[in-house]
Amino acid sequence: MSDVLFSSPAMAELFTPRAMVAAMLRVELALARALARADVIPADAADAIAAACRVELYDADAVFDESATAGTPVIPLVRMLTERVDTKARGWVHWGATSQDIIDTAMVLQMRAGIELLARELRGVAESAAALADRYRYAEMAGRTLGQHAAPITFGLKAARWLALTTRQIRALEALPSTALPLQFGGAVGTLAPFGDSGPLVAAHLAEELALPLPELPWHAERDRIATVAAALGVAAGAMSKIASDVALLAQTEIGEVAEGAQPGKGGSSAMPQKRNPVDAMSALAAARLAIGLVPTLMSGLAQEHERAIGAWQAEWVALPHVFRHTAGAVMHVRRSLAGLEVHHDRMRQNLSLAGGTLMAEALSVALAPRLGRTEAQSVVKSASERALREGIPLQRAALDDARISSILSADDVNRALNPSRYLGSADAFINRALASLPDPSRDAPHATARVEIDGLNIAYRVDGDVSNPALVLINSLGTDLRVWEPQADSLSQYFRVIRYDARGHGESDVPAEPATIDRLGADLVALLDHLNIERAHLCGLSLGGLTALWVAVYHADRVGRAVFANASARFGTTQSWDERMRAVRAGGMEAISETVVGRFFGAPFRAEHPDLTRFITDMVEATPVTGYLAACAAVRDADLRDVVSRIRAPSLVLAGELDQSAPLRQSEELHASISGSELVVLPGAAHLSNLEQAEEFTRLVTTFLRGL
């Protein structure tokens, strides 16, 4: 029941037995490759092992059933893996590793994915809190301390505090992959003795294969990193419980200042028809308690025996997944609660006048203090407040009736002092500070996590999603880097193993010395697939990325599953137009063309409505190395695939922007007509980077098509 009520479906799926087996196989595969790179085992043995490391070949339940006797799931898994490997390569399976290396590293991979998932969900909480903070920045309400009315605040400030709290959790979680989630690889007792003095080299290759930090030494029995992750999740869950508690209290019948959004079947009672319960807040509080309750189990695991623990390490196998599941549940339910939150400002105003408006007592004493001094002013106002409460009259009347007050303050002075809107201090400034700290997923997203040498250049790439999912390569447009796919990457990685990369001369990839060709750009993509041991992948290319995808679909048809050609053409522009652009870049750098380029990327209304995103893409274009940009321009200038795209047999989707000037609708229609059986969808109002202008619809169309739905 807990995975249904007190976890998120995505996080629950991430920590299933099948997902754990997939992660362990990913480590075994990477180990085989690392051993081959270090010349410890033959390359053909590594290939044989890699071919058998496919999760669909194994019964995860059987692996864990046997682990009850074996004491670890690695023992039955390695036996099953060995049985599937060619006889000549069997002796190299799991070479030099110990069970803890595989389990710990597999869990590190799962935790990394789990942290990314939590950070995404927390951004949803932050965005809702930010919207509430901005919309209700002037909505006065009672500030409450120790459960009692204290002084006025605004609901915007309360939401801004939720935002700041959530932002801190995002930052804390995003720091974990580099500080607390390194490779685990030490062999039997942490010496890597089977490799002689080559152990560090094998470890370095293994860390690179898995895109994990390389620790200074193995950490089998030193679990401070696990405790750090557990503590961070516990704090994040606790932070969500703070927000959920506020919502639940504000939704009480007697207060009635907020309510969770209504929807059929939500928040009812089996006995009381009138009930509208804050069920998301309730579920978040329950999930947070479950998560926090497991943190001590993981903290207690810091005391481990010698080189490998007996009991404490094994307890992590259960506690860690559940901490992730329940923290995700808390975050998910808070996100849902805030996303549909109904704010009743009229009730907030009514509640301000409860108790005769005595929550303005501090403001009145502050107005009197310059004449009476702080102590005397508080004493006088306390007397007036007690009378107001005792006799059930407004504080204003009690104040004007008191000669000690009326002799100093006029009726207008008293009214001003008792006006909640005049006693909000720096609330507006604090709201602005919180809004300024809102994480921008496109700016703050991690860039490349790994590199591979292709044709003498280091090509930067990033992989997200379960290794057992179908592979999908997202190919960038000219002048952008892999961050251009941020609006799609999170959603697509739920269904696919998503590979993004920076084309040569772009982003974090090396800059070529010579002009590129479309053949070279396509060959880079094929080499990346080879490096990742991916025989067949779906492709989704944008602009130049679409041209690259077309080339691969024509000349390497066996490597392509389904293909999406977005804002693409078999022939872009004319030789003259590209020569003119290249001359402008040589003369004035990227700044000379950035305004024009971004003006083609987005329509004018979109640029006006989204200045931050426009500036971000402009910065990306201007940061592209001149030599790298010119090399890619040469490839586009010289490419003409119009005579060969008819050879494409992969199921294809052509996505066109209605207002695209760089790949006009007419060219998309021609491309669609040339590719037998292809589909064409036009995105209304979109220009050239339709994945950003129409992000939600673009993602939906691509997901639906690639999944064959």
**How is 486-517 classified by DSSP, letter by letter?**
HHHHHHHTTTSEEEEEPPTTSTTSPPPSS---
Q: What pLDDT, on a 0 to 100 scale, did the predictor assign at position 14? A: 86
Eight-class DSSP state of 174 = H
CA distance readout (Å), 345 to 136, 137, 141, 169: 9, 11, 8, 29
Residue 144 to residue 148: CA distance in whole angstroms: 5
Q: What pLDDT, on a 0 to 100 scale, did the predictor assign at position 211? A: 83
Residue 645 to residue 8: CA distance in whole angstroms: 43
| Backbone φ, ψ for residue 473 (5° rounding) | -105, 125
Helices vs strands, H then E, count in the chain: 31, 12
By residue count, the chain amounts to: 709
Distance of CA 534 to the CA centre of its chain: 25
Q: What pLDDT, on a 0 to 100 scale, did the predictor assign at position 272? A: 42
CB atoms within 10 A of CB 362: 17
Taking only the tens place, the pLDDT of each residue in 117-154 is 899 899 989 999 999 999 999 999 999 999 999 899 99
Partnered with residue 514 across adjacent β-strands are none
Amino acid sitting at position 522: G
E-strand ranges in 287-413 read 342-343
CA distance readout (Å), 152 to 251, 353, 375, 378, 637: 18, 11, 22, 18, 64
What lies within 8 Å, CB to CB, of 292 at 6+ separation is 234, 237, 238, 241
Reduce the DSSP state of residue 150 to 3 states and report it. strand
Q: What pLDDT, on a 0 to 100 scale, did the predictor assign at position 263? A: 64
CB atoms within 10 A of CB 577: 11
Residue 345 to residue 350: CA distance in whole angstroms: 9
Q: What pLDDT, on a 0 to 100 scale, did the predictor assign at position 273? A: 45
The answer to whether residues 560 and 650 touch, using CB atoms and an 8 Å cutoff, is yes
Residue 210 to residue 107: CA distance in whole angstroms: 12
What lies within 8 Å, CB to CB, of 394 at 6+ separation is 353, 356, 357, 388
The answer to whether residues 566 and 690 touch, using CB atoms and an 8 Å cutoff, is yes
Q: What pLDDT, on a 0 to 100 scale, did the predictor assign at position 370? A: 92
CA distance readout (Å), 403 to 2, 391, 407, 410, 611: 63, 18, 6, 11, 57
Q: What pLDDT, on a 0 to 100 scale, did the predictor assign at position 632? A: 95
Partnered with residue 461 across adjacent β-strands are 450, 501
| Backbone φ, ψ for residue 584 (5° rounding) | -65, -40
Strand pairing class (457-464; 450-454): antiparallel
Please say if 269 is a catalytic residue. Answer: yes
Buried b (16+ CB within 10 A) or exposed e, 60-70: beebbebbeeb
Eight-class DSSP state of 213 = P
Reduce the DSSP state of residue 87 to 3 states and report it. helix
Q: What pLDDT, on a 0 to 100 scale, did the predictor assign at position 117? A: 87
Residue 125 to residue 246: CA distance in whole angstroms: 14
Under-50 pLDDT residues of the chain: 265-275, 442-448
Residue 300 to residue 302: CA distance in whole angstroms: 5
Strand pairing class (679-683; 652-657): parallel
Which candidate in 79, 84, 171, 308 is catalytic? 308
Kindly report the pTM of this predicted structure. Answer: 0.65
Which candidate in 178, 269, 300, 676 is catalytic? 269
